[in-house]
Structure 1
Amino acid sequence: MNPETGEIVKLTAFQPPERTATKGWTVNVARRNEQRLQQVDFDTIEGVPAFVTLTMPAQQMADVSAAMFHSWLKSWLRYMKRHGLLHYYWILEFQATGNPHLHVLVWLDHTPDVLEQYRALRSWVNMLNKSNVGARQQGQIYESIDLGGELVVDGETVPAHPERVLMYLAKHAARGVAHYQRQLSNMPEDWQYRSGRVWGHDRGLPLREQQDYETDYPTFWAYRRLVRRWRVSEAQAIVDSDRRRAAVSQARGCLRCPRPDISPYRGISAWVSAEVACQLLDAAVRGGDDREEE
C-alpha cells in the first residue's frame, strides 16, 4: 500500500532494478532482499535443500578484495551446478571480526552423501588456498535440511525449512543494518569502495505473483493488530534474552508512526508467510480483533 495515498500497488513499483554492485547492507538493500524472499514460491522449488556456510580467515581480510571474494562465489556455484545444483539463494554477512561469510541455501537434484558434502566444501577451501588464503575445512558447514527438525544459524535455533532459514537471515539483515558488523567504515578500503552485491539467487528460482485483497479500513486495522500479535508471539519464542527483549520491543512498536496523517493507511513491513497471512486476514474479516487502533 502506498503510505501517502493509501492506494494498493505492486511491490515492484517500489522495488528498483537489481544492481551488480552495492555499498554493503543498507536499509534499501535489506528491504529489497526481504521483498524478494517473500516472493519466492518455496512450495514449488524442486530439489533436495541444504544450508551451507562458507567462510575465510579474518586475519587475511585485508588481502582479499571484494572482486576476488565474488569470483570465488561464482566459481563455487559453477562447481555445484556441475554436481546437481538446481537452485540457490545466498546472503553475505560480515562477522564481528570484519571478515565476510556466506550463507547459501542450495537445492540439489539428489541427496548428497557425506563424501559429496565434503567435496563441495573442499572446493571452496581449495579456491581460497590457491589464492594464498589459508582457509580451513573446519570453518565450512554443510547441513542437510530435514523438514520438521531444527538448524542452528548464527547461534540461533531455527526450524529446518528453507523459508524459515531465509526468513531468519532476512530479519537478521534488516535488524543489523546499523550494527558495527555491517559498517563498511570498518572494512578494508577496497570493500568500502565496492563491496559488490550482498544477496542473490539463480534466475530460475520460482517466484509467486503478488496477491491483492481489498478490505474496508476496520478490517485492515484489525489485520494489522493481529500481525502485531503474531510478531510479538514470534519474538517471545527467541531463546537469547537480549535478542528476545529487542525483538519484542520492535514488534510491539511496529504500528507506531510519527505522522498521524498517514498512520491509518500504512501497510506492515513484516515478513508473514502466505499461510499465516491468510489465516490472520480471515480472522480479521470474521472480527477476530475488536480493539481500537493505537
Structure 2
Amino acid sequence: MPTISIRAHGVSASKFQQVVNPETGEIVKLAAFQPPERTATKGWTPNVARRNEQRLQQIDFDAIDGIPAFVTLTMPAQQMGDVSAAMFHGWLKSWLRYMKRHGLQHYYWILEFQASGNPHLHVLVWLDHDCDPLETFKALRSWVGILNKSGVGARLQGQIWESIDVGGEITVDGERVPAHPERVLMYLAKHAARGVAHYQRQVENMPEDWKYRSGRVWGHDRGLPLREQLDVECDYPTFWAYRRLVRRWRLAEAQGIADPERRRMAIRQARGMLKCPRSDISPYRGISAWVPSDVASALLDAAEAMGGDYEEE
C-alpha cells in the first residue's frame, strides 16, 4: 500500500516500506537498513537532491528567529585544479565561524557547480540583527580573505549579499524570486532536483578530486527548527484520487501567478507532474510537490471521503 508523507511545505509518496527487524521483531521502515550517503558521495545524485528537497520542506519558518539574507560565495575557476573538496569545506566552516561571531543564528547552504567547473555556495543566513552595508562588506571580505590566505585569488566583486525584504524580489542565479526565505529555498530545491543531467549537477564538470570525494553538497545548522513529517498509509483508490487532487491544486496555484512567463511555465509543469517514463516509480514520483501541510492534509481528507471516486474534468 502507498505511504503519503506530509511535511510543513511539501508532500511526497512511496511504496509501503515496513519490514520486520530479524533481531528484535520490531516493525521498521526499510529505509532504516539503508544508511544515507555520507562524505564519500560523488556530488549531486538523485537521492541527494531528493533528501535536500525534503529537508527544506521540513523547515519551520515561523519558528526561526532572526533577520534573513541570501549570500552567494564564489571563487576563481582557473585555480580549481589546486583546490580539494576538503579545502573548500574547510573554508566554508571558517566563514561560518566568522559569521557566528557576528550574529549568525541559523543557516542553510547549497553547493553548485557552474559550467566551467567553478563551485559556488548559496547560503541563506538568519542574523540576530539587521546588517548595515559595512557589516555585509566585512562578511564578504572575510570569505575572500580566507581564500587568499590559501593562495586563491578570490575577488570581492564575485561575492553577493542580498537582504530579504518580504514583499519584494531578489535575484537568484539570474532569476527574480519573491523575497521570502521559503520562496528562495523552494527555488534552490527545485533547481537542485532538476537532476544530474543539468550542467550544475554533472560530475564531468567537477574538478578531478571532487568527482570521488565531494563531501556534502548541502547542509544546515543543528538548531534549525524542523517539523516532523506525517506518514499516512492509504489504499490505492484513495492514493489515485489524491494524486489528481494535488495536481489540480498545483494548477490552480499556477494560474494565479501574476507574471505571464512564470505562470506559463508553472502551468506546464503542473499539467505534466504525474508523468514519468519509469513505470515502477511513476505513481510515487509524480506526487512530490511543494504543498502547505494544511492543504496536503485537507486534500487527503477529500480523497478519503471520495473513496477513489474522482474523475478529472
Residue in structure 1 matching 2:172, options 153, 165, 172? 153
Is residue 85 of structure 1 aligned with residue 80 of structure 2?
Answer: no
Is residue 57 of structure 1 aligned with residue 76 of structure 2?
Answer: yes
Residue in structure 2 matching 1:131, options 123, 134, 150? 150
Aligned length: 291
2:55 maps to 36
For residues 15-48 of structure 1, the C-alpha deviation after alignment (integer angstroms, 9 at most, x for no partner) is 8446234210000100111111111111101111
1:193 maps to 212
Give the 3 Å change call, closer, same or farther, for CA 31–136 of structure 1 in structure 2: same
Q: 5+ residue gaps in structure 2?
A: 4-12, 19-27
Instruction: Point out the structure with the larger strand share.
Output: 2
Return the offset for 1:69: 0.8
Deviates more, 1:195-204 or 1:31-40: 31-40
For residues 194-222 of structure 1, the C-alpha deviation after alignment (integer angstroms, 9 at most, x for no partner) is 11110000111111022345666555433
Aligned counterparts of 1:188 and 1:106: Cα–Cα separation in 2: 27
2:240 maps to 221
Q: Is the 8 A contact 1:6 1:266 kept in 2?
A: no
2:9 maps to none
RMSD (Å), alpha carbons:
3.4
Aligned counterparts of 2:148 and 2:282: Cα–Cα separation in 1: 54
2:186 maps to 167
1:178 maps to 197
Give the 3 Å change call, closer, same or farther, for CA 11–46 of structure 1 in structure 2: farther
1:209 maps to 228
- TM-score computed with the length of structure 2 as normaliser: 0.79
For residues 166-186 of structure 1, the C-alpha deviation after alignment (integer angstroms, 9 at most, x for no partner) is 111111011042223322223
Is residue 268 of structure 1 aligned with residue 287 of structure 2?
Answer: yes
1:25 maps to 44
Amino acid at match of 1:47: G
Q: Is the 8 A contact 1:117 1:142 kept in 2?
A: yes
Give the 3 Å change call, closer, same or farther, for CA 264–93 of structure 1 in structure 2: closer
2:64 maps to 45
Q: Is the 8 A contact 2:71 2:160 kept in 1?
A: yes
For residues 61-90 of structure 1, the C-alpha deviation after alignment (integer angstroms, 9 at most, x for no partner) is 212111111111000000000001111100
Q: 5+ residue gaps in structure 1?
A: none
Aligned counterparts of 1:263 and 1:179: Cα–Cα separation in 2: 21
- TM-score computed with the length of structure 1 as normaliser: 0.84
Percent identity between the two aligned chains:
79
Aligned counterparts of 1:242 and 1:286: Cα–Cα separation in 2: 34
1:144 maps to 163
Q: Is the 8 A contact 1:121 1:141 kept in 2?
A: yes
For residues 103-148 of structure 1, the C-alpha deviation after alignment (integer angstroms, 9 at most, x for no partner) is 0011111111111111000000111111221111111111111112
Aligned counterparts of 1:120 and 1:222: Cα–Cα separation in 2: 50
Is residue 113 of structure 1 aligned with residue 132 of structure 2?
Answer: yes
Return the offset for 1:254: 2.8
Aligned counterparts of 2:82 and 2:272: Cα–Cα separation in 1: 43
Return the offset for 1:191: 1.0
Is residue 69 of structure 1 aligned with residue 88 of structure 2?
Answer: yes
Q: Is the 8 A contact 1:221 1:293 kept in 2?
A: no
Q: Is the 8 A contact 2:39 2:214 kept in 1?
A: no
**What's the secondary structure of 1:223's corresponding residue?**
helix
Instruction: Point out the structure with the larger helix share.
Output: 1
Give the 3 Å change call, closer, same or farther, for CA 62–36 of structure 1 in structure 2: same
